[in-house]
Amino acid sequence: MVAKHFIFLGAPGVGKGTQAQRLAQLIRLPHVSTGDMLRASVQSGSAIGVRAAAVMESGALVSDEIIIGIVAERLLLADAATGVVFDGFPRTIHQANALDDLLAGRGDQIAAVLHIELADEEIVERLSGRRVCATCGAIYHVRYHPPAVEGICDVCGGVLLQREDDQPAVIRKRLAVYQAETAPLIAYYHDRSAYHLVSGEGEADEVFSRIVKAVGVAR
Ligand code: AP5
């Protein structure tokens, strides 16, 4: 059976994590977020975490070498055998080339590239109100998706925190880095049949309906 992988592409805050978690649950594939993996490394104090911490806090990108290494290792785990839902990877042309090489070496395919688009003002609004569960990673928003009890995760009862890189100055830097380093990936994938442009406007349920329709899976 050929493994088929899904890619979420889009600026910080467009809803990649929210939608990737949902799609992964629906189609029963692992959700592979390079941002979550790096934050776990920072928390554990591993060598990669020590190198990545300051870079992430500044809003810049962690080196391609580190990212490609952690993704290659992740794909070796048994649960990736039929495919994964990537969130936040690839993020540079070099990473996209490396992914194509990795997948070609395994005989795997890209099932869909879901490019989510949203206006910058809405992105800033979403990121500044985001709260994330420190235990399970569930994503909330103080206005659009509040938890039942303020500051507590509905899923696991963990504490909700604001990410260090969700401060206004760092958000602006991340948007600029996206334009310079990640937006060129749109042209890289645009002409492939797997590419889908999806509007990120409206409620999370509406966006998810567009994604499900684009990839042709039943809900
Ligand atoms: P990462 O964790 O990947 O962050 P990001 O790409 O900047 O994306 P975000 O997680 O900020 O946003 P999102 O699009 O997932 O939105 P979300 O669903 O949370 O990366 C962090 C850092 O790690 C990078 O800056 C870099 O340093 C490093 N890194 C990671 N990957 C790397 C790579 N491949 N190469 C190099 N460096 C890498 O939604 C945002 C908010 O909006 C939430 O509050 C949510 O509840 C709310 N929301 C979502 N959808 C809706 C909706 N439809 N309506 C209203 N609110 C909504």
List of domains in the chain: 4-118+181-215 (3.40.50.300)
pLDDT band at 104 (very low <50, low <70, confident <90, very high): very high
State how far Cα 130 lies from the chain centre: 15
**pLDDT tens for residues 136-183?**
999 999 999 999 999 999 999 999 999 989 999 999 999 999 999 999
- Kindly name the residue from 22, 39, 91, 210 that is annotated as catalytic: 91
| Probe residue for ligand 1, chosen from 21, 31, 61, 68 as the CB with the greatest number of ligand atoms within 8 Å | 61
Task: Supply the pLDDT for residue 198.
Answer: 98
Name the residue at shortest CA distance from atom 42 of ligand 1: 126
pLDDT tens column, 41-100 = 999 999 999 999 999 999 999 999 999 999 999 999 999 999 999 999 999 999 999 999
pLDDT at residue 219 above 80? no
Q: Which atom of ligand 1 is nearest to the CA of 21?
A: 18
Active-site residue flag, 4 = no
* pLDDT recorded at residue 217: 85
d(CA 94, CA 111): 20
Of 10, 32, 9, 12, residue with least CA distance to 21: 32
Under 8 Å between Cβ of 197 and 179? no
CA pair distance 161, 133, nearest whole angstrom: 6
- The pLDDT of residue 25: 96
Residue 126 CA to ligand 1 centre (angstroms): 10
Distance 17 CA to ligand 1 centre (A): 6
The whole-angstrom separation of Cα 66 and Cα 49 is 10
Q: What is the pLDDT of residue 1?
A: 82
On whether the CB atoms of residues 84 and 34 are closer than 8 A, the answer is no
Going by C-beta distance under 8 Å and a sequence separation of 6 or more, which residues neighbour residue 15?
116, 118, 126, 200, 204, 207
Average pLDDT, the chain: 96
What DSSP assignment string belongs to 91-154? Answer: -SHHHHHHHHHHHHHHT-EEEEEEEEE--HHHHHHHHHTEEEETTT--EEETTTB--SSTTB-T
- CA–CA separation, 72 vs 75, rounded Å? 5
| pLDDT tens profile 20-34 | 999 999 999 999 999
